Amino acid sequence: MDNHSYNLIKALIKKANAVLVYEQNLKDSPDCGECRPMWKKLKEEDKKHLEELKKLLYSHTAREAIK
């Protein structure tokens, strides 16, 4: 595996872990009208980033498989 693909996987793992943390933070702050919108926003942004990273990783691994 090349370094570039490794970096994509590493970033994907970090974003996936962040989404899990945000989900826990939402559970931990059921009554906080200030924090909940922020956790939701961060979670949704990182979920979008996850999808972008998945597409890039798939694209790179598909190209490597063709070589």
Domain extent at residue 28: 3-66
Number of domains in the chain: 1
Q: What does the alpha-carbon distance between residue 16 and residue 47 come to, in Å, rounded to a whole number?
A: 8
Average pLDDT of the segment spanning 40-58: 96
Specify the pLDDT at position 56: 93
Q: How confident is the model at residue 62 (pLDDT cuts 50, 70, 90)?
A: confident
Write down the pTM of the prediction.
0.85
**CA neighbor of 3 nearest in space, from 65, 66, 62, 64:** 64
